[in-house]
Structures are given as structure tokens and as C-alpha cells.
Amino acid sequence: MKIEASKKAFQEAQELIPGGVDSPVRAFSSVGGTPVFITEGKGAYLKDIDGNEYVDYVQSWGPLIFGHRDETIEAAVIDAVKHGLSFGAPTLAETELAKMVVELFDSIDKVRFVSSGTEAVMSAIRLARGYTGRDDIVKFTGCYHGHSDSLLVQAGSGAATFGNPSSPGVPADFTKHTLLAEYNNIESVKQCFRDSKDIACVIIEPIAGNMGLVPADKEFLHELRELCDENGALLIFDEVMSGFRATLHGAESITGVKPDLVTLGKVIGGGMPVGAFGGRREIMAKLSPEGPVYQAGTLSGNPVAMAAGHAALTKLKSNARVIDVLNKRAVRLVEGMREAAAKEGITMQVDTRGSMFGFFFNEKPVKNFQDATESDAELFAKFHAGMLDRGFYFACSLYETGFISTAITDAMIEDTIAAASEIFKEVKNG
């Protein structure tokens, strides 16, 4: 497969944009090679500037549950654009989308829209601190909650510790109130509560998608809920990635654990930049202008984004079985690849949640970030390059989750498995 135009475009971009990309993972640093520059998406496919087509298992990192250029969402966006791009004033579209989110999530009485997942999480944490009057927060190694200062904390090991910044430009004073715990390890969380009596909240991806797909154990989440209640801390579910992807009604509907606050994004924007955070009425009442905790945004509730999100959720709600259908395809994909790998003596760990899927080249099940780091990164890079060359676009990091859209057919799944089988044979034969 020729990608000469992408190579030239990447060289030019690096002269003007740091690293040549506007989000680091896109640079293909962990898999090698040159990122392909996309010119068009349609249905299940991406097309690059060299004219190559790829079955897309990234789907813009999750939002496009109905594939690229879904006609319903596209029509809603075009209609909204005809009335104006942005007003900086209230619109009915905000209320209509809010009604839908509140209806579908039992834990959300009120919701506020913002422009990104990072903004949603940053605001939810500020609200938790304002509501409890406390400063410290607990996060888990391997869970990514955006790039706000207090959450850019390096992974810890062993017992929970107060975090140190993992990026230059973040003062230690900004992260000294962040405690680290190990995912799926309740003892590490208990240690955090022993270390601090000033914990405002615990934030977690109940279905982690940023260390690969690693769902939290139900028992662990139940114990986490109890710990927060015992210590007067709020529990925040970060479902920016998993919301409306794993299930229509949020992780609470499949785990039985009800959070105090939820952060959302991706699908609720239908491909447009949108984030949101919501929760119990008495907590949200602390938010300005109703309460003293300040949060604002010029483009929050943008009418075009609201139209896209409303169209996406309306379509998903009226076709609720689609998540089960997509899960069957996701299961077939990862199980088919696992079986093909096993034939060549390669061990894969696989999992799915709704239309999300993940896999690791690892000898043991992955339960936390440390387990994920023990996966075979070199083999993943070979797999990624081989699949890209055969026309299948997977996430360019072993720490990312894959996504199935309704545009991906059973036949495409079988073609993907066949291509993966070829790569595994090549790896075995050196």
C-alpha cells in the first residue's frame, strides 16, 4: 500500500504543528510508521489522501456509533447550521438533549453541557470539591480523564501515593491533592482514605478504555461505593468513552452501582465536540448560577453539536437492540482473532462491552494498568502495521479501545479475522 502523499503531508505538518499532530497518539509513535492523513469517511470506511480505503475500527475514538456520515445525523447538522453556528445564548436544543440524557441515566437529575471530555471531568471534580468542602481526589493508574493539571499524574506502583506531575508545565502544587490507587484493587483505595481525611471524590472509568479495554469488577465497584459513603466522598463515573457505547443506560445499569456524578462525551455529540457532566439534584445545585461553584464556556451547548447529539441519541434510543447486535459482532471479531492467534501459538486476552472491544498480546488476563504494560508492544506494532497495510484501521496504541459501528458488517468482520490470521502466520514464520 502506497502512502507517499501521507508521508509528505506529515513532514509538512511537523514544520507547523508540534509533532505534526493535534493530539499525541495520532503520531503513530508507539506503533512506528507514518500516520495516514484522512480525507473522507463514509459508513465503515476511511479514505486517505493517497486514495487508500480502510475499514475503520476507531470511529473517531468512539463517537460514531452509526459510522461516518450517518444520514440522520448529517441532516440534523446541516439544518442546524442553516440557522447559525453559535449564539452564546440558551436554545431549546440544549433542553431537549438534556431531557434525553436525564431520562436514560438514573443517576443524573441535572446535566450541564461543555465542549470536551477534559472540560467535563475538570468541572465535575471542581463541583465535587465545592460540594464536599474538601481538596483531595483519588484516581486510578491507567485511567485517563483528560489533560487538566490535577489529573496529569504519573502511574504509581504498589501502595497508593500522592501523585507527582507526569508532564512538565504542571506544578507539583496542582497534583499534591491527587492520590493514586490501583484499578480493581480495593485495598489500595482504602490506603488512600487512611492517608487522607480530606478526600472530596473518587473518579474512575467503570469501563476503562484508556489502558485498553479493562472493565472494573462489579464487586470492586460495589466496595468503592461503600467506601465513598463511609467517608463522605463522592463517586464519579467517567463515561466519556463508555457512555452509550457499552450500554444505553450507563455502567450503573450493568454493575448495579450508582455514582454521584457522571461525565459524558463522544456519542452525545454524534461526532461534534461535546462533553457533559451531571448527577444528583442537590449536588448540581451547587453549580453557578444556582450555586457558588463557577463553571462557564462560550461554546457550551453549541446548537450544531446539540443537534448532532440529539439525532444520535434519538436514533440509538429507537434502536436500542443495536448495542446487542454490535456486541455480537465485537465478540465475533475478538474471538476470531484470538482463535487465529492461538493456532500460531500466540496468546491473546480479549474482552468486549457493548460496541467496545479490546485485546492484549499477553499471557495473563489484564486487570489493571500494570498488567497492560506487560503486553507485547512489539507484536502489537507488527499487527497494527500489517492490518493497516491490508486496509483495516485499528487504534495506533495498545492502550486504546476499538469500536464497532453499525456500518461494519459481518462480512467485514470475517475479512478482518482472515487478515489477522495472515499476520499471525507471518509473525510465527519470522
Catalytic residue list: 144, 238, 266
Dist CA 192 CA 231 (whole Å): 11
Cell digits of residue 233 = 466522598
Element (H, E) at 38: strand 38-42
Q: How far is CA 205 from CA 99, 119, 130, 141, 215, in A?
A: 24, 16, 22, 11, 8
Dist CA 171 CA 177 (whole Å): 12
Query: Grid cell 459481518 — which residue?
Result: 410
CB-side exposure of 257: number of CA atoms within 13 Å? 27
Cell digits of residue 151 = 489529573
Question: Cis omega (within 30 of 0) on the bond before 289?
Answer: yes
Full DSSP string of 94-143:
HHHHHHHHHHH-TT-SEEEEES-HHHHHHHHHHHHHHHHT--EEEEETT-
Query: Grid cell 490535577 — which residue?
Result: 150
Q: How far is CA 315 from CA 63, 311, 324, in A?
A: 13, 6, 15
Partners of 292 in the β-ladder: none
Q: 403 and 58 in contact (C-beta within 8 Å)? A: yes
Q: Under the phi-then-psi rule, with left for phi > 0, alpha for psi from -120 to 50, and beta for the rest, what region is 63?
A: alpha
3-state secondary structure 212-256: CCEECCHHHHHHHHHHHHHHCCEEEEEECCCECCCECCCCHHHHC
